[in-house]
Amino acid sequence: MDGIVSVLVCPVHIQTNHSFLHSFYYNKIENRSAVTPFRRLAAMPPEGTISAHGIFEREVHQSAPRTSPEMISTTTFFWNLLHFSLRRTGRLSRWILQSRLVHLIGVVSLCSVAFLLWKTLLRQTSVPYPPSSLTQMQQLERAIDEHNAWEQRLKQALVPPVPPSGPIIPVLVIACNRPSVKRTVDALLKHRSNVLHLSPSHFPITVSQGCESQSTADVLAAYGDAISLIKFNYQSRGPPNKRTKLNSYQSMTQHYKFALDYMLFQKNNSALIVVEDDLDIAPDFFEYFAATLPLLYKDPTLFCVSAWNDNGRPNLINERRKDVIYRTDFFPGLGWMLLREFWLEIRARWPDIYWDEYLRKAYIRRDRACLRPEVGRTTTFGRDGTSLGQYFDKYLKTMRLNSEKFDFINADLTYLLEPEYTRRWKSMVYEKSVAVPLNDLLKDRLPDSDASIRVIYTKPEEFSTIARHLTLMPDLKSGVSRTAFRGVVPVFWKKRQLFIAPPTDWNGYVIS
């Protein structure tokens, strides 16, 4: 307890004289029994001046006799007092550090404080939300979960468009109100069963009907499991009781979008062959597409493969060269193959009408080309289609369909890849052919050699004139003539290869 008194002395402001301090110190050193026990500090002193704390002077007035200040100097007194206080304090500190009871009390105190803090934090964070806020949060969490689920499904569905092993190339038949679709489906099933090196399972057939025609629906239903069927319902924007030519074009365009979405997204196909319900099919139709599919994957300068030759009449083709395939800047359609990657690219701006003209736009083509055969692998028998017989009797009726198989799958088709193709093409057209005037061509005034010949045109109007003389289809779409590649239209004229070509300094198509 003496040590405690010594510690309490330090902060006390003492208002007394030197004799008073000396008397306390002297008796403290010489006679320890003169110090009053600590419990008597609470008693008020009978006399003397007490500081604000009052502790030190209470002890002094009750126990210390007065002594002369000359017995010890003030400096010595304070020095000895400090020494005594530090010594007592050290003893108390050692006792505290060595006491197990004090350690236990400290641990219990710390645990109690930590528990109280934890309870306080728990109380603050467990405040219940209002029912309305809880409902909104649940709805938000549910929406986020649904979004994440759809994102995962999309990632799993849209696998990278790599060439399938074996290849699996589904066939989509766009049908409307023609029961004669049976002719097309029968040809597909027949030739699918005789594909070289591949089985029918590599070419599953789906027919999408987009018109209300019970007779057509009955024809398709009769195939049973041999084909798959889907249905498109067109919502006309015009009067409900008027089916116009414009409505037919709109319906077909929207039908294409629906069917392509279904086949490339919902059915998860990375490539697709599209045919209309009025096409005849060549025996090597499937071999042709199976062999060219790797080129479509490999060469980014291609965007489609077509089985159709717009100038495929007997007097304009070399029927002996059924193996020949060309590049063309003109989208042919009528039996064509595309990749899902291309559909993803063009789908966002899909038009309401004239889907084929949309694919011929320069901003869609972007200097890319399609592949097409010298001898067609499809022809059309649909005189009364949406074109209402346009050009049919004059141009389409006599189109030649290849009748003998060619093994495209084992053929070397690397000559169709860029940049080698264009280099060879320019050499063949401008270096290895002989230029002749149109009049000499029409009058058979040609060189004696078997060399290719070339007729030059300098503007679109001149090309149309030449095309009419040679019975080619003269129209241009987005500045591109049918079957043209780099402005050059190749035909086989009177047993000679003919190129209808622009000058060597040609700068591109003129879009009118």
Please answer whether residues 320 and 442 qualify as being in contact, where contact means their C-beta atoms are separated by less than 8 angstroms. no
Tell me what pLDDT residue 156 has: 61
Specify the CATH number for 419-512; select among 3.40.50.2000, 3.40.50.10540, 3.40.50.11030, 3.10.180.20. Answer: 3.10.180.20
Amino acid identity of residue 60, one-letter, is V
Active-site hit among 356, 367, 448, 505: 356
d(CA 413, CA 291): 8
Model-level pTM greater than 0.95? Answer: no
Count Cβ atoms within 10 A of the Cβ of residue 246 and give its class: 0-12 exposed, 13-18 middle, 19 or more buried: middle
Tell me what pLDDT residue 78 has: 60
The pair of three-digit structure tokens given for residue 145, joined into one six-digit string: 């979960």
Which residue, 329, 323, 325, 260, is CA-closest to 301?
A: 329
pLDDT digits 0-9 by tens, 165-180: 568 999 999 999 999 9
Tell me what pLDDT residue 91 has: 62
Question: Could you give the C-alpha distances from 125 to 135, 221, 319, in angstroms and in order?
Answer: 19, 65, 84
**DSSP state string for 380-395:** E--TTSTTTTTTIIII
310 catalytic? Reply is no
Tell me what pLDDT residue 47 has: 42
pLDDT digits 0-9 by tens, 55-108: 334 444 444 444 444 444 556 666 566 666 656 666 655 655 566 666 677 777
d(CA 11, CA 5): 11
Residue spans per domain, the chain: 2-100, 131-157, 419-512
Question: Could you give the C-alpha distances from 175 to 124, 184, 206, in angstroms and in order?
Answer: 67, 10, 10
Q: 365: helix, coil or strand?
A: helix
Nearest 10 degrees: Cα torsion 367, 368, 373, 374 = 20
| Average pLDDT for runs of 10 along the chain of length 512 | 38 40 43 40 41 41 46 59 62 60 71 76 55 67 78 64 69 97 98 93 97 96 97 74 72 97 97 98 98 98 98 96 98 98 97 96 97 98 63 88 96 98 98 96 89 96 96 95 98 96 96 80
d(CA 489, CA 487): 7
Sheet holding 369-373, edge to edge: 228-231, 205-209, 171-175, 271-276, 336-339, 302-306, 369-373, 325-328
